Structure 1
């Protein structure tokens, strides 16, 4: 009986540790810190990322196709707004992406407060490409 209790206790501890570790990595950071919003694999248009304003950053995986990437704000009642003209990605020094801390291939869109709207007081951003030359992987930060 004692072995059974110890086995159950060990199982419970094992299950709790990864959950609490994961939960702490998902905490929202304060002002001036980057909050990770998630990632998306996409061919021409990413999923929507919600931003509270300030600056918004995207980071591309090095396997993403070279070309122009555009930031749009989704509007359910009107045409979507282009927040920024295309930023060029080419995995090299001739593009508009750079390292931000330990994150490679990133671009920061500054002062995007004008795009915050709606009852949720959030901007609904997505990344778009004009041509389908392969799958891109984007991470978003607010």
Structure 2
């Protein structure tokens, strides 16, 4: 009797794990990037004037409905840096209002964002990517994500934002809504 119950429990667990893995893989089949327009915000909500270059966003793609997808799937800390023609790992940041600062050599920047559901009737998640300079920060891109739990992939063209003695773009992401809720990001250059 114990062997029969153990067998049933093992079969149930195997079925559950297989179903969850198939569900996670099904959520990644949307591979077509979507061109997203930047948000149209009043001048008093922007940093600086409305003539800033905020067209660096190339694409946004939702890769999973799971807001913990990357933490479960990828050991990003093990990526070897400076691979020719590959994404170079810059780091990770979990934040409520502003991420850590990352130095990009220019070209394309890839940011993954894992965000939870903001709650019924809540606004979209509003983000700004900034390039830091002494005295002020410039808005590189201004974008929104739907108020849905999930993992998103954003690609930015930051070629025009490289400056300073280090010949790097010093970038951070700010989240303007949901200031008590953390999001997790992974940065690749």
Q: Which TM-score bucket, shorter chain as reference?
A: 0.5 to 0.7
1:80 aligns with 2:137: yes
Q: How many correspondences in the alignment?
A: 108
Q: Where does structure 1 differ by over 6 angstroms across 4 or more consecutive aligned residues? A: none
Kindly state the Cα deviation for residue 26 of structure 1 after the two structures are TM-superposed. Answer: 2.5
Inter-partner Cα distance in structure 2 for 1:120 and 1:68: 30
User: How has the CA–CA distance of structure 1 residues 114 and 91 changed in structure 2, closer, same or farther, with 3 Å as cutoff?
Assistant: same
Q: What is the alpha-carbon root mean square deviation over aligned residues?
A: 2.5
Deviation per residue, 1:26-75 (Å, 9 max, x gap): 232113x2111110010100000110001111101243756011110011
Q: Secondary structure of 2:163's partner?
A: coil
Task: Compare relative contact order (CA 8 Å, sep 6+) and give the higher one, 1 or 2.
Answer: 1
Deviation per residue, 1:69-107 (Å, 9 max, x gap): 11100112x310000112325447xxxx9xxxxxx5111
Kept in 1: contact 2:128–2:173 (CA 8 A): yes
Q: Which residue of the partner structure matches residue 100 of structure 2?
A: 47
Q: Which residue of the partner structure matches residue 175 of structure 2?
A: 129
Instruction: State the TM-score, normalized to the length of structure 2.
Output: 0.51
Unaligned runs of 5+ in 2: 1-75, 119-123
